[in-house]
Structure 1
Amino acid sequence: MSERRGIPAKAYAYAAAGLVLLALPFYLERFWLQAGLFAIAAAIGAVGINLLTGATGQLSMGHAFFLAVGAYGYCALAGDGTDGLSGLGLPGWLAAVLAVGLAGLAGGAFSPIAGRLHGAYLGIATLALIFIGQHVLFNAHGLTGGYNGRAVPPLNLFGLTFDDTELLVLQVPFGSVEKLWYLGLALLLGGVAFARGVLRGRPGRAMNAIRDHRIAAGVLGIPVARHRAAVFVLSSMYAGLAGVLLALVFQRTVPEYFGMALSLEYLAMIVIGGLGSVAGAVAGGVFVALLPQLLGRYAEALPLVSAPGTGGVAPGEAARYLYGAAVVGVVLFLPGGLARLVARTPIHRPSGESR
């Protein structure tokens, strides 16, 4: 009886949270919606690397490379060449789908290595992707725009253009961030649902067996190399999707963003949120993505934190210190991350109710 009574309360909580998220564009200013979109994109990418590292035990240092493939792939596929850069002029929705597929193909090209290496060896191998990606992004000027990057074509979907052209909804003007907000929520919901389905099914059990003891998993008949390669491709596609969304939010891609620091941030997200937990990956992604935004917003009111170039600690640096400390704190005092903290929260039941 207790479980039956608990389901409606949980459903009501989810419904209330959903309604709040849907209503935010009507009340929040552009800064907060943009910060929320950064968090949504980070959460999507964190779910992907959590499938790889948290659920399967494969260390990847090259997640930023696949975000760059998604972001720049969308620009190249959707661009029309009027800016002097390469572009195929494809419809925005098709370019986005193909960009995610392109990230998956890049992961597939690397998957033979990912299927045979593990631990620190795989981490070092994926580290090479960052250096290769940075070299290409800075030097392939006709494709990437070089150091200055390239503008991101707006997305067109079902006749709706996700640009700053105002669209009145209930007398509220909707610009690009308001429109992208609902798209981002839909993509995050779909990504979370798919990842949960994978982890709860036979692939998820195989992935966990490989993570816990790969030799024993092979003895049980699990094709270890094939599963590792497949998860690497899936994680790359999640990263590509996050890269496309980030490009649409930024409205310009720059090579500096897709460097080593971004890959380390994604590892921090899944450690803080909880390895192997989809909800934990989302929570960690939101935490790490929002922290520098909040510090930058309130830099003047915080001690030691100031705007870049004015002395003191820049918001971005302060954010790295804080979530670095959070990683150490989680490892020492909360090994399961934020997901374990939520799981430990006691459930209050009426007196006399059976457990």
Structure 2
Amino acid sequence: MSDLVRSDLVRRALWAAGAVVLLALPFYLDRFWLQAGLFAIAAAIGAIGLNLLTGATGQLSMGHAFFLAVGAYGYCALAGDGTKAGGHELVGLGLPSWLAAVLAVALTGAVGGLFSPIAGRLRGAYLGIATLALIFIGQHVLFNATSLTGGFNGRSVEPLSLFGLTFDDTETVVAAVPFQSAEKLWYVALAALLACALFARGVLRGRPGRAMNAIRDHTIAAGVMGVPVARYRAAVFVLSSMYAGLAGVLLALVFQRTVPDYFGMVLSLEYLAMIVIGGLGSVAGAVVGAAFVSLLPQLLTRYSDALPLVSAPGTGGVSPGEASRYLYGAAVVLVVLFLPGGLLRITALTRLTPSKKEQA
């Protein structure tokens, strides 16, 4: 058996083992770890979309958090029943939650489409500054459109219902294990991540991906070769927005409440850190970077009592959130200086290292 066939079999076996482990986790992990995993999955979906735009096409976006907010609050408004909360009459159409989730993603794509003519004509820092304006506009709307967002206190999220199953905290016993919202959402989130990853991988490996890379590497040359540069930039921006919208819907379902403070500039910077740390232009790199950036603050919070220089939230000193930003900020610098391909580059370097037999 050749080394190539053997390595392929090992890779397939590892993928199969990983899939079995992921499917079995709700039966063994407590709620904290499942929620941390759900946050990482939602972040991975949003990071894949941003990597299509920034990593594969070379378009810098600072407004990713805005589109997450559109997806999250769009779902709340479409699925909510319009009840009062915090003295405000909230907008709610009362649609079936599965339909509200689909329409929220479509709404986010439509909002991205409204901005896409600008995205199609700008590049680099100019697009980054233009998308940064979306954050300020979004924060103003989220805090002041109280009938839609609930204002500072946010609004509760209608649980997802699919195939007659409601993904709330009502216990459903499966193999003697009580399944609540986190356990139920786990499989929906995994399915969404798999679908998003496979679609993005197909885009990157096909003709659109080659056109996107050509635009990233040399815009003028891509135009000379017949690539409609403005159209591709606009289309990828819409696609990236829809990925962010789906991530926002999933985050809302996990949080069970949406608050405006979460969808600020820091969140957009975190998504940029995800794709840089994991690997620009790679689906797997986006997933790895999202897991690193999203899990780090939760782990520091969980083990703050046992870690030096990190204090529990509200006790003074360096909070877990601040410590995590320092750490992944340092990780960005280290990746840019010493590992330009991101963490995913480590596995590529391992595969490319010649064996002793070949060296001889």
Q: Deviations over 1:73-100 (max 9, x none)?
A: 0000000112331000000100000000
Which runs of structure 2 are paired with 1:281-292 in the superposition (5 Å)? 281-292=286-297
User: Which amino acid is the alignment partner of residue 54 of structure 2?
Assistant: T
CA-CA distance at 1:35 after TM superposition:
0.4
Q: 1:259 aligns with which of 260, 264, 277?
A: 264
1:80 is matched with which residue? 81
Q: Rate the CA distance shift 1:172–1:219 in 2: closer, same or farther, 3 A.
A: same
Please tell me whether the aligned partners of residues 59 and 119 of structure 1 are also in contact (alpha carbons under 8 angstroms): yes
**Partners in 2 of 1:117 and 1:338 — Cα distance?**
29
Return the match for 1:131 from 115, 133, 136: 136
In the alignment, which residue of structure 1 is the partner of 2:6? Answer: 5
Letter of the 2:35 partner, please give it. Q
Find the counterpart in structure 1 of residue 182 from structure 2. Answer: 177
Secondary structure at the counterpart of residue 285 of structure 2:
helix
The one-letter code sitting in structure 2 at the alignment partner of 1:12 is: A
347 and 207 in structure 1: CA distance in 2 versus 1, 3 angstrom threshold: closer
Alignment of structure 1 residues 13-162 onto 2, 5 Å:
13-83=14-84, 84-162=89-167
Specify the SS of the correspondent of 1:13.
helix
Identity fraction in percent: 79
Q: Does 1:322 align with 2:327?
A: yes
The two structures have a TM-score, normalised by structure 2, of: 0.96
- Give per-residue Cα distances to partners, 1:9-64, cap 9 Å, x unaligned: 21110000010011111010000000000000001000000000000000000000
1:214 aligned onto 2:219? yes
How far the C-alpha of 1:347 sits from its partner, in A, is: 7.1
Q: What amino acid does structure 1 have at the position aligned with 2:270?
A: E
CA RMSD between the two structures = 1.5
SS in 1 for 2:343: helix
- State the distance in 1 between where 2:316 and 2:265 align: 25
SS of the residue 1:345 aligns to: helix
CA gap of 1:351–1:219, structure 2 versus 1, over 3 A, is: closer
Pick from 225, 249, 255 the counterpart of residue 250 of structure 1. Answer: 255
Q: Structure 1 length as normaliser, TM-score?
A: 0.97
Picking from 269, 272, 278, the partner of 1:273 is 278
The CA deviation at 1:351 is: 8.4
Structure 2 equivalent of residue 195 of structure 1: 200
Q: Which amino acid in structure 2 is aligned with residue 339 of structure 1?
A: L
| Residue of 207, 210, 219 corresponding to 1:205 | 210
Summarize the Cα distance change of 1:30–1:115 in structure 2 as closer, same or farther, 3 Å threshold: same
**Which runs of structure 1 show a deviation greater than 6 angstroms over 4 or more consecutive aligned residues?**
347-354
- State the shift of 1:160 in Å: 0.7
1:238 paired to 2:265: no
Bigger shift: 178-187 or 82-91?
82-91
Matched residue pairs, number? 354
Aligned residue among 335, 338, 344 for 1:333:
338
Q: Which residue of 2 aligns with 1:167?
A: 172
Matched-pair contact (CA < 8 Å) for 1:79–1:87: yes
Distance apart, 1:350 and its partner CA: 9.1
Q: Shift of residue 336 of structure 1?
A: 0.6
Q: For 1:266 and 1:242, locate their aligned partners in 2 and report how far apart those are by CA, in whole Å.
A: 12
1:2–1:353 contact (8 Å) kept in structure 2:
no
Q: Give the Å deviation of 1:308.
A: 2.0
Paired letter, 1:141: T
Partners of 1:350 and 1:116 lie apart in 2 by 48
- Report the alpha carbon displacement of residue 342 of structure 1 after superposing the two structures with TM: 1.4
CA-to-partner distance for each residue in 1:118-172, whole Å, 9 max, x for gaps?
0000000000000000000000000000000000000001111000000111110
Secondary structure, counterpart of 2:173 in structure 1: strand
Q: Quote the offset at 1:353 in angstroms.
A: 9.0
